[in-house]
Amino acid sequence: MVSKKIILGITGSIAAYKAAYLIRALIKKGAEVQVVMTEAAKEFIMPLTLSTLSGKPVISEFFQPRDGTWNSHVDLGLWADAMVIAPASASTIGKMANGIADNILITTYLSCKAPVFIAPAMDMDMYAHPSTQQNLERLHSFGNHIIEPTEGELASHLVGRGRMQEPDVIVSVLENFFATRNDLLNKKIMITAGPTYEKIDPVRFIGNYSSGKMGFALAEACAQRGATVRLITGPVSLTTVHPAIRRIDVESAGEMYLAAMKAFPEMDIAILSAAVADYRPQQETASKMRRQDSKRWWLQLVENRDIAEALGKTKQPHQLLVGFALETDQGIEQANDKLVRKNLDMIVLNTLADEGAGFRHDTNKVTLIDSEGHIEAFPLKDKIEVAEDIVNKLKTLII
């Protein structure tokens, strides 16, 4: 935590008093803290207290009323190593989830390039309400880190879940986060993601249901841990966030093959999460095939080049190659066979037999198998968390 720059966002909650303890704890660890607070937060704790503890003027408005000095939320977002919102009220969580930028805390959040940690604090019924839970799930899907509240006596004197996590626990979460952030520093990682489209004619194609979410989550996870990422993606509607990700868009399996073969020699690691079509039409017609031209179509398919197999043949001793296997039955056997045949160092197995896993889900359930025969199965998780599990396992294989 030494020399880390932390934005501490404080919102209108009775738990705002804990922010004073959190500032002290962060500064004792060597961090630099800039407080940004909402107007409602001032009703619970004085800016003077926070300014005295942090050693910096508190920011709560877009400009200083006395001299018109502008408080740039953009500069703040670029300055920080992390942003922590503690306490995070239901109102602020809702605004963050929906981009309602009506105060400097929210605009700072929307401009922040650094990881964001959110520590909710509210009455138990507010926390349990479907709208709050949906907003938290949405924020988590954006890549934010949710520091779950604890159970205990609340301001309403009811007992339940909604108490903001204690400052020492929040500091521990940050310390653990920063401890792993640079474990892939200077590593070059290529990731394939999404489906491929194999054209039949100008308006039709052979494809699959891959959304690309798993590959994009892996790209963000690797970049956040210090790697430079080359993301080769098929046609998806997703966007990248981290500046260390260089995206290459392709459409067909042939285009992905060429891009992967070109990039791989420079890479330390390749993670092949794309759902690449095994076959393509032997012939693509130049004009649209019309129903009235024929009552029956015969579509002849030819095999696409196997990206994983080709990379496995060219892999150097210092390189790691990770494949994916989506199966419907005999998952372990099929994945092990693919691991050996394609000279992989690890394979990520998921199966359509598991509800919530595979294509078009925000969740996945994976089993990781390495070339030494170690097998580790994980429960159903959000794909952002699955990406972290995969990267954690991958880190143990790096020589």
Q: In this predicted model, which residue has the larger pLDDT, 179 or 96?
A: 96
Residues classed as catalytic: 208
Residue 274 predicted with pLDDT over 80:
yes
Tens-digit pLDDT profile for residues 102-117: 999 999 999 998 889 9
Strands 150-153 vs 159-163: parallel, antiparallel or unpaired:
antiparallel
Share above pLDDT 70 across residues of the chain, in percent, rounded to a whole number: 96
Residue 322 predicted with pLDDT over 70:
yes
Q: Which helix (H) or strand (E) holds 253?
A: helix 253-263
Tens-digit pLDDT profile for residues 71-80: 677 788 889 9
Sorting pLDDT into bands at 50, 70 and 90, what band is 319? very high
> So what's the pLDDT on residue 130?
95
Tens-digit pLDDT profile for residues 217-232: 999 999 988 899 999 9
Q: 271 with 311: CB under 8 angstroms? A: no
Q: Which residues contact 288 (CB under 8 A, 6 or more apart)?
A: 201, 202, 203
DSSP assignment of 162-192, as one string?
EEPPPHHHHHHHHHHHHHHTTTTTT-EEEEE
Structure-block tokens of residue 134: 């949906």
Strands 116-120 vs 82-88: parallel, antiparallel or unpaired:
parallel
Closest CA relative to residue 150, chosen from 138, 159, 169, 163: 163
> So what's the pLDDT on residue 272?
98
In this predicted structure, which of 44-48, 137-141, 240-244 has the lowest mean pLDDT? 240-244
Q: 56 with 33: CB under 8 angstroms? A: yes
Phi, psi of 72 (to 5 degrees): -85, 110
Q: 326 with 352: CB under 8 angstroms? A: yes
Tens-digit pLDDT profile for residues 143-198: 889 999 988 887 778 888 889 999 999 999 898 888 777 789 889 999 999 999 99
Residue 67 predicted with pLDDT over 60:
no
Instruction: Please name the residue that has the structure tokens 């199965």.
Output: 377
> So what's the pLDDT on residue 249?
96
Structure-block tokens of residue 222: 């690797």
Closest CA relative to residue 3, chosen from 80, 72, 55, 77: 80
> So what's the pLDDT on residue 70?
67
Sorting pLDDT into bands at 50, 70 and 90, what band is 69? low
